[in-house]
Amino acid sequence: MSEFMKKQSPARIIALGFALAILLGSILLLLPCSLKEGKTISYIDSLYTSTSAVCVTGLIAVDAGDTFTPLGQFFLAALIQVGGLGVTSVGAGIILAMGKRMDFKSRNLIRQSMNLDSGKGIVLFMKSVFLTTLIIELAGALLSFTVFVQDYPLTKAIGISLFHSVAAFNNSGFDILGNLQNLIPYRDNVMLNLVTCGLIFFGGIGFLVIREMWTTRLNWKKFSMHTKSVLSISLLLILAGTLLLKMTEPITWLGAFFHSVSARTAGFSTYPLGTFSNAGLMVLTVLMFIGASPGSTGGGIKTSTFLVLLQGIKSAATNKSEKVFRYAIPRDAFRKAAVITLLALTIVISGTYLMVVMEPELPLMDVLLEITSAFGTVGLSTGITPDLGIGAKLLSILIMYIGRLGPLTIATLWYFSRGERVSFPEGNIAIG
């Protein structure tokens, strides 16, 4: 087995690790100790729930609060945590906790899974990731507890607060409040709305950005091009989403702001999306497609990809060089961004088509939102998920898996190249 693993590319090992975590989770969630008395769950729903947790999505086939025992909910939170940090990162944490050294293969896996430029300082970086996660999630749980303790007994309030903080920071829209209500009962609770948005935001900007914000003490001038880009685009999308949602839906400013933040990758909702207009659902779909930032717990094509794409289009239209914040964008960045976006569009459009074929009675906009939510590992839905057929659920599982790994990673799983040995004459083709 070890010899087999040595021959595999980092992308394949990461993909296999996520697949094994999903399968293990599907078994754990089926155990009698995980299910409440009188509750049963089919294997397809268990697999769907495990995939949604490991891929930090939040789409639900069964309600976690009504179906699972406290132990089952603990398993679910553990799957979310593993999925958010990444299977390879968790494995590295176990190696470090045991006092062992990481070999070159392990360092390369972490570098690729966390989107790092080099393997330098990997151990120190991983320690900072775990410490950052612990501090933010505990702070989020403590602040959430002040809200939940007003409505639930002490022990249950502690459990709900810890679960909610883990789910929010890892950008997974699971809740254990029951009755498929998500955070709707707390739509007007400013404290919980802001705490949840804060957890989602920090989980979605990536550990590299969080570390740089800490080490520079929020000094904008000392921020790198990557950090400036991520923060600028993230804030711009939040602002634009808030304004557009407020224009299209009869919701409060707090509700518009919350959904603008949540739609990027988290999947929590304070209003039933089944009541949203097509215009509002379209805004959410675009936000979900763009998603979070590289090296974060979220999905989508990523904010940096979106920025590079815009700058590349602007450069082509104005015949000026691609630059941002007085930095030149690397020459191959636009090409990579275009490839990722095209692959993502292909997955979303193909998935929407296949689900409409399988479930012809469902409205097209609801299906498009569902598929984009699965790809962006978001978790928002108009409520169609539990009633999907087996084929549609398997399709959604596959898209969640692709979305968590990234379309470019999936595309290169079987590809090994030593470079072309034959050159061809350059031809001419009309474009535009």
The pLDDT tens digits of the residues spanning 381-390 come to 999 999 999 9
Whole-model pTM: value is: 0.91
pLDDT in tens, 256-302: 999 999 998 888 999 999 999 999 999 999 999 999 988 787 889 99
3-state SS of the chain?
Answer: CHHHHHCCCHHHHHHHHHHHHHHHHHHHCCCHHHECCCCCCCHHHHHHHHHHHHCCCCCCCCCHHHHECHHHHHHHHHHHHHHHHCHHHHHHHHHHHCCCCCCHHHHHHHHHHCCCCCCCCHHHHHHHHHHHHHHHHHHHHHHHHHHHCCCCCHHHHHHHHHHHHHHHHCCCCCCCCCCCCCCHHHCCCHHHHHHHHHHHHHHHHCHHHHHHHHHCCCCHHHCCHHHHHHHHHHHHHHHHHHHHHHHHCCCCHHHHHHHHHHHHHCCCCCCCHHHCCHHHHHHHHHHHHHCCCCCCCCCCCCHHHHHHHHHHHHHHHHCCCCEECCEECCCCHHHHHHHHHHHHHHHHHHHHHHHHHHCCCCCHHHHHHHHHHHHCCCCCCCCCHHHCCHHHHHHHHHHHHHHHHCHHHHHCCCCCCCCCCCCCCCCCCCCC
**pLDDT given at position 192:** 97
- Over 80: is that where the pLDDT of 203 sits? yes
pLDDT in tens, 306-341: 999 999 988 888 888 888 888 888 878 899 999 999
| Count of domains forming the chain | 1
Q: Is residue 45 part of a domain?
A: yes
Q: Is residue 430 part of a domain?
A: no
Q: Is residue 110 part of a domain?
A: no
What is the C-alpha separation between 15 and 394, in angstroms, rounded? 17
- Over 70: is that where the pLDDT of 44 sits? yes
Q: Is residue 427 part of a domain?
A: no
Cα end-to-end span (Å), the chain:
51
101: region left, alpha or beta (phi > 0 left; psi from -120 to 50 alpha): beta
Contacts 24+ apart (CB under 8 A), 369-372: 369/273, 369/281, 369/284, 369/285, 369/288, 370/59, 370/396, 371/396, 371/399, 372/285, 372/288, 372/289, 372/348
**pLDDT given at position 316:** 84
Q: Is residue 428 part of a domain?
A: no
- Over 80: is that where the pLDDT of 134 sits? yes
Q: Is residue 2 part of a domain?
A: no
Q: How many CB atoms lie within 10 A of CB 10?
A: 17
Q: Lowest-confidence range among 132-146, 236-250, 418-432? A: 418-432
190 φ, ψ (degrees, to nearest 5) = -60, -40
- Over 90: is that where the pLDDT of 201 sits? yes
Q: Is residue 174 part of a domain?
A: yes
User: Which range of residues forms the domain containing residue 355?
Assistant: 8-103+119-411
Q: Is residue 112 part of a domain?
A: no
